[in-house]
Structure 1
Amino acid sequence: MQHQKPYLFLFFSTLLSSTIMAISSSNFILLWISLELNMMSFIPILSSSKSNLETEAAIKYFLAQATGSGFLLLGISSISIFNNLMSQFPFILILSMGLLIKMGAVPFHFWFPHVMSNISWLSCIILSTWQKIIPIMILSYYSSSIPYLFLPIAILSASVGALGGLKQSHLPSLMAYSSIAHLGWMISSIPFNSFTTIIYFIIYSISTAISMLIMNLMKTLNLKSMISSNLISMKMKLLLSMSILSLGGMPPLLGFIPKIIILKTLLQSSNQLCALILLLSSVLTLSYYLNMSISSLMSSSIPSPSNPPQSPSFFNTSILTPLAILTLGLFPLLLI
């Protein structure tokens, strides 16, 4: 029998409240405190199973976040001293570097796939989605000061995420590089249209959460075991396939819309090269999304004696069904 961990409710509560506190903060000190509370709330969630791999991942996460917090605090304290933009510019760079480390953006991404590959699927969902809210929000505050710093970071993140995912067969690592690639798209639109970034982030978060939740139900960690998995129904496999293709921006799924909007925004701001590289990287990411999608559909639906099929739970029907409607659009109510 699995041991209950009631203390996790406390850490999930502080994780949620720290993000809300950061969004509503009126000064940098409260913002920094919210970030630290957010980090310290997530570390116990990372290591909740007490396995050696999760403990190692929690230590790596802590070191990366502590480094980012150091740069962030240095940038915030220095910006408050100087009044003119020219004096603040180097410290805005330092502040931005701290936020990029916290998000796992290129070239500060090395910790991110290692942590993702050693933690549970629930922790992967939080790390890929919820933990990016505060850094993206702070970056949007300074996007007008250094707009063209973001474009090289966006190009590098999208390219590394696309190329790094091609050689991955371990699903959490593959989803980590997918997250890096999508982060490049979000960063590219921050200086020009923050609202587009919010829309992209929401659609990405929903699609990623659905994909990882179903992978968790499949009890699989690599592409080969995905093919042989028979723990979920064909409707769930179709939902997984459509969610993955939505992440890749395959039309007419919902993930296609924000990418088109970002490309239009970049072209209107005369950033044709950035738009072209992002488009090419999206083609590369779509190749491994198609591989995942085909692998999920090829898996057998006939239950084995040792692995009987799981009956749909209240969580599956009440949570995944509306998410499927929001994400897939043309394929509602797949779980009914």
Structure 2
Amino acid sequence: MKSPSKLLFVFLLVSSTYLVASSSNWLTIWMGLEINMLGYIPLIFMKETTSESEAAVKYLIPQSVGSTIFISSAIISNYFNNSQILMVIAMCLKLGVAPFHFWFPPVMASLQLAPAFILLTWQKIAPILAIGALSPSLIKLVMPVAAISALWGGIGGINQTDIRSLLTYSSIGHTGWMLASVNGNYIILLVYLLTYMLINISIYVFLSKNNNKSHKQLFSFKEPSKLFILAISLLSLGGLPPLVGFIMKLLVLMFTQASIVIIFGLIIGALMSLFYYLSLTFSVLLSFTKIHLTEFKSTSKESILLFLSQITPLAMILSFF
């Protein structure tokens, strides 16, 4: 696929997300979700392989089912108010959160790195904004799904050896935290999304150079600075204090209105996620010596991305609070 076509579909992704964010009725939200889906599917075909075609079909079917349930529920809600609960189910299906995550890991396993990271980051914005447009009573129904997603993201990632599978289950866990932040301060949700996107972009820059797939291949860089930056990015994604990933989880716990059972589920899921990130990076961090630290150079593009991913959300928090 040629570059102008890619730019067109990227424009559709961005414009459809803004359409969902600025919509005032269910019809335009549904239109934005449909444009978002149709703009992403052509971006899947990077090398036009059979695995990418399989991933496109596996992505299309649940997304179409979710959109159909959403617009049907919006129409029926004019006559039966209780039918709006189907909107919650539809958006959870489009997000790929547990227990509606059956399509998410197979699709991620068949994608190239660029569309995979778009699916991990940008494709979560529109459904979460649609959930935020629901009534407070319906948003409370999302809280058990948030806790289940956080727990399943921690459990599913423990025995994974493939990097994409690891990031997939980590994404399921983080989506649970995003859903928990919907029932609280809206600014916290936006900053959490920005934080998650920046950390994933910094990891994507490293993975795209070596096309690593397993744990042993992940830290195959010869430069100590790149090893250290990648380890810090992964630990921040896991929520290790005092990195920005931990600070965002702490802010969600402070501002969310979820019950103590839901908060307990979120914390347990985050601890399990942090466990497999620590086991992944522990040997690498221990290999650093005083000589390596003195040779550390922070002038590369990756270092700038890491700096932005750790500092920008904190600057936004200070500006709003």
TM-score range, shorter chain: 0.7 to 0.9
The Cα of 1:276 is off from its aligned counterpart by: 1.7
Higher-helix-fraction structure: 2
| Structure 2 partner of 1:38 | 36
Q: Secondary structure at the match of 2:110?
A: coil
Residue identity over aligned pairs, in percent, reads: 33
Matches within 5 A, 1:134-145: 134-145=126-137
**1:107 Cα deviation (Å)?**
1.1
Query: Equivalent residue for 2:111?
Result: 119
Query: In terms of mean alpha carbon deviation, does 152-161 or 283-292 score higher?
Result: 283-292
Match of 1:272 in 2: 260
Q: Which amino acid aligns with 1:41?
A: G
Which residue of the other structure, out of 6, 24, 33, is the alignment partner of 1:8?
A: 6
Instruction: Please tell me the residue identity of whatever aligns with 1:327.
Output: S
Q: Residue 296 and residue 10 in structure 1: after superposition, are their counterparts in 2 closer, same or farther (change >3 A)?
A: farther
CA deviation after TM superposition for structure 1 residue 270, in Å: 6.9
Q: 2:305 aligns with which of 323, 326, 329?
A: 323
Q: CA deviation at 1:65?
A: 0.5
> What is the aligned partner in structure 2 of residue 95 from structure 1?
87
SS of the residue 2:244 aligns to: coil
* Amino acid across the alignment from 2:239: G
Contact 1:143 1:191 (C-alpha < 8 Å) held by counterparts: no
Give 1:174 deviation, angstroms.
0.9
User: What is the aligned partner in structure 1 of residue 17 from structure 2?
Assistant: 19
Provide the rounded CA distance (Å) in 2 between the counterparts of 1:289 and 1:180.
Answer: 15
Contact 1:223 1:295 in 2 (8 A): no
Asked if 1:234 corresponds to 2:224, the answer is yes
Partner of 1:117, secondary structure, is helix
How many residues are matched? Answer: 303
Does 236-245 or 36-45 show the bigger shift?
Answer: 236-245
| RMSD of aligned alpha carbons | 2.4
Where do residues 245-264 of structure 1 align in structure 2 (5 Å cutoff)? 245-264=235-254
2:281 maps to 1:293: yes
CA distance in 1, matches of 2:47, 2:284: 27
**Bigger Cα displacement from structure 2, 131-140 vs 184-193:** 184-193
- Scaled by the length of structure 2, what TM-score is found? 0.87
Q: CA deviation at 1:298?
A: 8.2
| Aligned position for 1:164 | 156
| Structure 1 stretches lacking a partner, 5+ long | 301-313, 331-336
Q: d(CA) in 2 for partners of 1:105 and 1:130?
A: 15
Query: What is the rounded CA distance, in whole Å, between the counterparts of 2:279 and 2:115 in structure 1?
Result: 24
Structure 2: distance between partners of 1:65 and 1:4: 26
| Structure with larger RCO (C-alpha < 8 A, sep 6+) | 2
List per-residue Cα deviations over 1:187-213 (Å, max 9, x = no partner): 112123222222211111111221122
Amino acid at match of 1:284: M
Distance in 2 (CA, whole Å) between partners of 1:329 and 1:236 is: 18
Determine whether 1:153 maps to 2:145. Answer: yes
Contact 2:148 2:265 in 1 (8 A): no
Using the alignment, how far apart are the partners of 1:258 and 1:45 within structure 2? 30
SS of the equivalent of 2:123 reads: helix
Q: Deviation per CA, 1:260-311, whole angstroms, max 9, x where unpaired? A: 1122234xx47222222211111110011123324666899xxxxxxxxxxx
Query: Would the alpha carbon gap of residues 11 and 299 (structure 1) be closer, same or farther in structure 2, given more than 3 Å must change?
Result: farther
- Equivalent position amino acid for 2:274 in 1: L
Corresponding residue to 2:234 among 241, 244, 253? 244
- List runs of 5+ in structure 2 lacking aligned partners: 289-298, 313-321
Q: Is the 8 A contact 2:150 2:172 kept in 1?
A: yes
What corresponds to 1:70 in structure 2?
Answer: 68
CA contact under 8 A between 1:76 and 1:95: conserved in structure 2? yes
